[in-house]
Amino acid sequence: MITPRRTISDIQDRLYELLGHNIRPLLWVAVIPAVLSVFLVAFVRERRAPAPRQEHARVHGPARLPASYWRTAGVLVLFALVNFPDALLLLRLTDIGFSTSGVILAYVGYNAVYALVSYPAGALSDSWSRRRTFGVGLVFFALGYLGLGLTHDKVVAAVLLAAYGTFTAATDGVGKAWVSSLAGPGEQGTAQGWFQGLWGGGILIAGVWAGLLWGTDGTLPLVLSGSVGAVLAVWLLLAGGSQAPAAATAERGGQ
């Protein structure tokens, strides 16, 4: 009897055969969203309320965003330069010895953790600090990259990839909220547009250099990126700026 599970498995195997047992061509697909995000930022338009007559003309474009926004966005974009596409992590699983079905199951585990942790991470960033919550996410980034770069055990690799889902949950929405909190009410579209465009460009560059240095198993780029992530995590967790988001907003509004 042919079961749905068996049918899906057959389809997966046939697609893998069409690729000649080579997943690398799929990596090109992974960078397409990053490229598009860079170009789409040029189309961002924000509706602006008419300025009172007694005011001077407002500054428009990126110059109207505060210095605190650019400092934070700059740090996050620099991190994006070592945060290469997840497709390379899946390629690392194949290097370790995972079958096509095994890679898919491991990625399902990653997405399950991502979904389960996203809400608690977002709530934590509201009550604690977005900077520190992002730092916690980078701890799991460092663990995932360093661990996957050094291990050759399938069980350990699957656990590391699942735990890596905590990184995405603690940084994706939190990073956007962090930069958003540093821009005024009339600057949200501009702030998010620039941040998302630069972030996507950083990931695109990360994918290129990591691919060039991948070699036979990807150990070098994984260890390099994991080490940078670990240093940045320590800095975010221990340095200043632990002020709660609500307090920071109130302080900015009173200036």
| The residue type at 198 | L
Distances (CA, A) of 9 to 62, 139, 215: 49, 35, 30
For residue 109, the model assigns a pLDDT of 92
User: Which residue numbers in the chain have pLDDT < 70?
Assistant: 1-63, 240-255
pLDDT digits over 10-52, tens only?
A: 544 554 555 555 555 555 544 555 555 556 555 555 555 554 4
For residue 152, the model assigns a pLDDT of 95
For residue 47, the model assigns a pLDDT of 57
For residue 16, the model assigns a pLDDT of 53
For residue 5, the model assigns a pLDDT of 40
For residue 23, the model assigns a pLDDT of 56
Cα separation, 72 vs 135, whole angstroms: 13
For residue 128, the model assigns a pLDDT of 86
For residue 65, the model assigns a pLDDT of 84
pTM greater than the 0.85 cutoff: no
Residue of 249, 239, 33 lying closest to 138 (CA atoms): 239
